[in-house]
Amino acid sequence: MRMFNIGLLLLCLTAAAVQADSRVLDAARDYIIDRFDLDPASVTVSMRDNKSFDCLIPGDSIGVYATSDAPPRGNYSLRYEIIRGGAIIKTISASVRVSIWADVCTANRKIKRGESIALDDLTVERREVTRNFDKVITSANDLLDMRAAKSIQAGNVIERDMMEVTPVISRGDEVIIRCDVGAMEISTTGVAKNDGSPGDQITVQNKATKQRVIAEVFAPGVVVIRR
């Protein structure tokens, strides 16, 4: 009977420890999802450190805080506050392993720098993005009117810094240079010396005078000198 009681006690303690670990991991997962606005279905969390949470009892709540502002890139250090009756009874620092998955845009062919992106160039795949989840593109619509800022290999996950807005004016394009003088609008032709999208400031050269000025890209083929 004594051996049975000891075995039952050990079983109960083990069950309590498993339950405590589950509560800790759930709290960590919820914190990470909320802080980084992640899809709950995309995040898994496991304990990395062999820290004891045997102080947890039913009715306790758990506060979770990051130890730095850095996003999780696999291992993630957290601070747990065990709260009982409205008071913090213990603080525990421990790390978890975070895995983040997402449906992301990948290149289905090699895309050269400067090439515009078409929907046919993309495939949406489920990939682990733990180390770059805040950089990936999850909707092909986000790539409309974009071009490659660098060479992208076939199969690569497309990240935001690989893309740039496709300019409406390219270096060497002939442009109309407009300038408002009072109630009058004066225009002439020039040559763009930089790429630019609406709102960008670029250098243009007046074809007649060869003078270079800074103008704002207004529309395809049109720049405006603001006075």
The pLDDT tens digits of the residues spanning 34-44 come to 999 999 999 99
Q: Where are the beta strands (DSSP E) in 29-74?
A: 43-47, 61-66
Percent of the chain with pLDDT over 70: 91
CA distance linking residue 33 with residue 82, whole number of Å: 20
- The predicted model gives 136-152 an average pLDDT of 92
- Higher local confidence (pLDDT), 8 or 187: 187
pLDDT averaged over every residue in the chain? 89
- The predicted model gives 56-76 an average pLDDT of 93
- The predicted model gives 75-90 an average pLDDT of 96
Give the pLDDT of residue 227: 75
CA distance linking residue 139 with residue 125, whole number of Å: 11
Q: Which residues are registered as beta bridge partners of 79?
A: 65, 93
CA distance linking residue 138 with residue 58, whole number of Å: 40
Q: Tell whether the model's pLDDT for residue 137 goes beyond 80.
A: yes
Cα–Cα nearest to 147, from 136, 158, 138: 158
Q: Tell whether the model's pLDDT for residue 21 goes beyond 80.
A: no
Cα–Cα nearest to 80, from 43, 48, 51, 39: 51
- How, if at all, do strands 174-181 and 184-192 pair? antiparallel
Kind and range of the H or E run holding 203: strand 201-206
Least confident of 129-133, 143-147, 202-206: 143-147
User: What own/partner pairs with CB < 8 Å and gap ≥ 24 does 151-154 have?
Assistant: 151/110, 151/111, 151/112, 151/113, 152/107, 152/110, 152/111, 153/107, 153/110, 154/107, 154/108, 154/109, 154/110
The pLDDT tens digits of the residues spanning 103-133 come to 999 999 999 999 988 899 999 999 999 999 9
Which domains are assigned to the chain? 2-100 (no CATH), 101-165 (3.90.1210.10), 174-225 (2.30.30.760)
